[in-house]
Copies of this chain bind each other. A is one copy, B any other.
Amino acid sequence: MNVTELISEIKKKKSFLCVGLDTDVNKLPAHLPKNSSGILEFNKTIIEATKDFAVSYKINTAFYEHLGSEGWKILEKTRELLPANVFSIADAKRGDIGNTSTMYAKAFFENLDFDSVTVAPYMGRDSVEPFLEFSNKVTIVLGLTSNAGSADFQTNTIYTPSLYKTVLKTVSQWGTPDNLMFVIGATKAEALKEIRTIIPDHFLLIPGVGAQGGSAPEVCKNGANSSGGLLINSSRGIIYASNGKDYGEAARREAEKLANETSIYT
């Protein structure tokens, strides 16, 4: 799915919802086996239960990688479970010198056929461009993250303008709103208005709603643009809404609730 198709899906579903599949084998509902097949059954149920409200799914690669090659098999199978009419995100936060970034891009864009992948900006242009070279794929670069550590460098007050603003300004010139998005944490909703003066047209992937404390309506009010321009991610708040056999219905309920909170802004 490309950005144009994503925009039409947002309008159709009236939702900015992205469901994060940060599936932790130790947090599976009590009745599921704590192994590969348990994870897969869980992911399948969550996807089925939430797909009426979600326009996007974000798969956090760390949660699969720590299980080794077996985990990568689950990642591959989970990718295959995603319906065609959602925007798929590999939340991998990769980035390296040119030829290595090309390999990472192949891993996520070709081998796994994700629509997009998250990338760290620290190494600069020649670490990001290899991802941008893949046509009909989207590179999502870290801008202002939702965690406390964002204060260490991204918003460190010894620098004016803040590092994250320089990152947004600089990186936005390397691509277009059709192949480039940015990660902006929901916990920084107050910064979104100013961020929209720097990058008015790019989509923003917004993690940090729910467990991390960000507010979806607040994010929409400050961050939505004329084409929508937002993907609001919730992981734990949706996928772990219940630890019982009703985890699918509970996830559906939370997904619907979050989608509804954003619908008037779509």
A123→B97 contact, CB < 8 A: no
* A148-B122 contact, Cβ under 8 Å, with A93-B94, A163-B163: no
B60 pairs with A100, CB closer than 8 A: yes
Comparing A49-57, A64-72, A196-204, the segment that makes contact with chain B is A64-72
Residues of B within 8 A of A154 (CB): 122-124
Instruction: State which of A38-46, A103-111, A214-222, A241-249 sits at the interface with chain B.
Output: A103-111
| Cβ-based interface call for A150 (8 A) | yes
Residues of B with C-beta under 8 A to A166: 153, 156, 158
Pair B148/A126 contact, Cβ less than 8 Å: yes
CB-defined contacts of A22 to chain B, threshold 8 Å: 99-100
Which residues in B have their C-beta under 8 angstroms from that of A112? Answer: 68
Asked if A97 contacts B146 (CB within 8 A), the reply is yes
Knowing A68-B111, A104-B66 are in contact, say whether A145-B123 is a contact too (CB < 8 A). yes
Q: Which residues of B contact A63 (CB under 8 A)?
A: 100, 103
Tell me which residues across on chain B come within 8 A of A72, comparing CB atoms.
68-69, 71-72
Q: Is A96 part of the binding interface, using a Cβ–Cβ cutoff of 8 Å? A: yes
Whether A149 lies near B123 (C-beta < 8 A) is yes
Interface check A81, CB cutoff 8 A: no
In the complex, the count of this chain's copies comes to 2
Residues of B within 8 A of A123 (CB): 120, 142, 145, 147, 149-150, 154
Q: Given A97-B147, A123-B142, A147-B124 in contact, is the A65-B104 Cβ separation under 8 Å?
A: yes
Tell me if A96 and B93 are in contact (CB < 8 A): yes
A residues 115-146 near B (Cβ < 8 Å) are 120-128, 142, 145-146
Contact pick for A103, options B65, B75, B103, CB 8 Å: B65
Complex CA gap A107/B68 in Å reads: 7
The answer for the CA separation of A128 and B120 in the assembled complex, in Å, is 14
Contact indicator B145/A66 (Cβ below 8 Å): no
Q: Do residues A163 and B170 form an inter-chain contact, with CB atoms below 8 A?
A: no
Chain B residues in 8 Å Cβ range of A111: 66-68
* Residues on B with beta carbons closer than 8 Å to the beta carbon of A71: 72, 107
Nearest B residue to A68, CB-CB: B111
> Which residues does chain B contribute within 8 Å of A76, judged by CB atoms?
68-69
Docked-complex contact A147 and B122, CB < 8 angstroms: no
A–B complex contacts, Cβ < 8 Å, 19 sampled: A22-B100, A62-B94, A62-B101, A65-B104, A66-B110, A68-B76, A69-B72, A97-B146, A120-B123, A121-B153, A123-B149, A123-B150, A123-B154, A124-B145, A124-B148, A124-B150, A125-B148, A159-B159, A163-B163
